[in-house]
Amino acid sequence: MTQAPAASKAALRRHDREIVALAVPAFGALVAEPLFVMADSAIVGHLGTAQLAGLAVASSLLMTAVSVFVFLAYATTAAVARRVGAGDLQSAIRQGMDGIWLALLLGAAVIAIVLPTAPALVELFGASHTAAPYAITYLRISSLGIPAMLVVLAATGVLRGLQDTKTPLYVAIGGFVANGALNAGLVYGAGLGIAGSAWGTVIAQLAMAGVYLVVVVRGARRHGASLSPDAAGIRACAQAGAPLLVRTLSLRAILMIATAIAARLGDADIAAHQIIISLWSLMAFALDAIAIAGQAIIGRYLGADDAQGARDACRRMVQWGIAAGVVLGLLVIVSRPLFIPLFTNDQAVQNVALPALLMVALSQPICGIVFVLDGVLMGAGDGPYLAWAMLATLAVFTPVAVLVPVFGGGLTALWGAMTLMMTVRMLTLWLRSRSGRWIVTGATR
């Protein structure tokens, strides 16, 4: 009678150790990414307002371009983890190499598009005539680092699939330090201005990609995996990533619609929205770290033909997601009066942000469930369902958000619509997880 609870507790502790071992380093690596932009902004900001404005436009374009291809990490993690679970490390690394080759091809295509169209893209994003030249310079130079950025995404997916999130953390920290030093040296020491910042970032990105390639190539040689491009494998990676691309684009559309609606509400509302979305994104990193652990763990269990292990791990990660969401929500409620003044002294902005932040706080447990189940289904390779579910969420959110300025309610109502959006996502993901249709075991889905 006493052995079952003891066994259950042991299983829970095992799942907890796995989640913590993968999620904590993943969180560190995720936080390091926005620090790149912050470091560039701090250094370029001392050159002048026009230079900083140019950097803001160019970096927004670059981050948008790169975020579209985040499926390189997600799809690769799931595919590699399955093969690790099946005990076929050679095939796992071969799958990872296909993802890296796809990243290089996509990166070359992006460069071919960005270099000639940089002035038009900068104008489309509304850069002023004083900021535009700096934005064009930064965009053109930085685009040369996009293949490296995409390789980093794909290689990160390889290592996550191999149950290694520590190496990406170390590489991210090293890249951040190198980026800061190079930027400072080239901007001020060499007197290259904003071009120096762009070149510093490109060099740091190339170095990060180089480190990842060394790690992956060593693993390939150790396990006898081929390094040459394989057309069928690259095609398979693209096909697996296509639904996740649809999912990502739908989510980006939701965030862009929310920003556009906030801008229509007035200056105080859009200013408060910018503060809130920054905090929301930071909390998303914490929840996404659990999701990344989910991708790796679920893929491994399914690859090992352990359907019950996948179910148990999913259940435990959902509990982690809810707990993390509750903690984050309470932190937001307690810190609201202290957090907002760090960004603005404008009383009008503070008055708008305070009630909207309460809505954000209340939605965090929902967000915790959404992020975890999103990661679980990604780890299971259930991309097509995720794509359709996000399209359905977009279809529900859009009319509700558009009606916010019509019926009033201001920014709090808009974040109510965002909470509705997350609730719809939670329901679609929960229904899928309950159905068990995502559980397809074996080395491939």
What DSSP line would sit under 402-433, residue for residue? HHHHHH--HHHHHHHHHHHHHHHHHHHHHHHH
- Residues 295, 375: contact at Cβ < 8 Å? yes
- What does the mean pLDDT of the chain come to? 89
Confidence of residue 34 (pLDDT cuts 50, 70, 90): low
Q: Is the dihedral of CA 102, 255, 358, 417 positive or negative?
A: negative
The per-residue pLDDT for 6 is: 52
Q: What does the pLDDT look like over 81-115, one tens digit per residue?
A: 999 999 999 999 999 999 999 999 999 999 999 99
Q: Is the pLDDT of residue 329 over 60?
A: yes
> Are the beta carbons of 153 and 103 closer than 8 angstroms?
yes
Whether residue 105 contacts residue 234, with contact meaning beta carbons closer than 8 Å, is answered with: yes
Number of CB atoms found within 10 A of residue 161's CB: 31
For every residue of 151-168, DSSP letters joined together read HHHHHHHHHHHTT--HHH
Residue 239 has pLDDT above 70, yes or no: yes
- Express as a percent the part of the chain with pLDDT over 90: 57
Quick one: pLDDT at residue 1?
37
Q: What is the pLDDT of residue 254?
A: 93
Q: What is the pLDDT of residue 44?
A: 81
CB-CB neighbours of 436 under 10 Å? 11
- Average of pLDDT values for 301-323? 94
Distance, CA of 82 to CA of 233 (rounded, Å) = 15
Task: Write the CA distances from 35 to 41, 169, 201, 406, integer angstroms.
Answer: 10, 13, 12, 38
Dist. CA 169–CA 331, nearest whole Å? 25
Q: Which residue has the higher pLDDT, 179 or 425?
A: 425
Predicted pLDDT of residue 277? 83
Rounded mean pLDDT, 209-213: 95
pLDDT tens, residue by residue, 330-350:
999 998 887 778 777 778 888
Q: So what's the pLDDT on residue 319?
A: 94
Predicted confidence (pLDDT) per residue in 50-61, tens digit? 888 888 788 878
Residue 114 one-letter amino acid: V
Confidence of residue 440 (pLDDT cuts 50, 70, 90): very high
**Residue 307 pLDDT > 80:** yes
Q: What is the pLDDT of residue 5?
A: 55
